[in-house]
A and B are shown apart, each in its own frame.
Chain A
Amino acid sequence: MTVDDVVKTLNLKVFCGEEGLSRQVENGYTSDLLSDVMGHADAGSIWITLQSHINIMAVASLKELAGIVLVKGNKPDEDTIRQSNIEGIPILGTDLEAFEISGRLYQLIRGA
């Protein structure tokens, strides 16, 4: 499954990093603590968070995540968008809260 498949199935907004929509999605991780994601997220994960500042890109890039989903209508900061485009790691968005979108993503990745 690619990030693009996830975008279409879960009806997510694509803010930036379109080049990375073909990345493979292996897993998901939901957390707003950056050290938690650094310590525990797997490569190829979609990261669900409400954090929108530039440091999420450093974490996503270092951990080789597939993409980031911002919850509850949060939008990425401008420098975050720039970095997402440079790294080719997409930042996606939803109006849903973390619990709801995590459940849907889990079903999509692990459910079938």
Chain B
Amino acid sequence: MQLEYSIEGGDFSHAGFASSQVKRVLKQLNVDPKLIKRVVVCLYEAEVNVVAHAYSGIIHVLINTNEIVMKLVDKGPGIPDISLAMQKGYSTASDKVREMGFGAGMGLPNIQHNADDFKISSNVGEGTNLEITIKL
């Protein structure tokens, strides 16, 4: 099964929409609730990152019998130093985003912690790609 969602940069009122849709589908498919929790944490954090940092993005979610693969492709400023971005507590979020309780530098580490496999690549001035895999 393949699902696709689009995200608009800066649109915090819809952040989490894709995560809640995917959660609903996985519940209907009777996926183990512990795995659903991990999927939801990963996807929500990735969604918020696109909203907070990029101009727009597309989420592809592929659900098959042995894994769930979430791909997020955004158009945005990109990440100059991925190893820095992966550090807990490091964030380039704006003050406005921080005031909302985001931008604490916990998103990418949260994803890495919950994913079985996590790939991130980025081109400065173009955008960032994430591939998050959770094994069923």
A105 at the interface (CB under 8 A from B): no
Tell me whether chain B's interface is mostly helix, strand or loop, or mixed.
Answer: helix
Contacting residues of chain A (73-104) with chain B, CB-CB under 8 angstroms: 79
**B8-16, B54-62, B63-71, B128-136 - interface stretch:** B8-16
The interface size bin for chain A is 20 to 34
Residue of A nearest to B41 (CB): A38
Taking a contact as CB atoms under 8 Å apart, the answer to whether A35 and B102 are in contact is: yes
Count CB-based A-B contacts (< 8 Å): 61
Residue of B nearest to A36 (CB): B106
Residues of B within 8 A of A (CB): 12-13, 15-17, 19-20, 23, 37, 40-41, 44-45, 48, 100-102, 104, 106-107, 110, 113
Q: Can you name 25 A-B pairs with beta carbons within 8 Å?
A: A34-B100, A35-B45, A35-B104, A35-B107, A38-B44, A38-B45, A38-B110, A39-B106, A43-B37, A49-B101, A51-B101, A53-B12, A53-B100, A54-B13, A55-B16, A55-B101, A58-B15, A58-B16, A58-B44, A61-B16, A62-B16, A62-B19, A62-B20, A62-B41, A62-B44
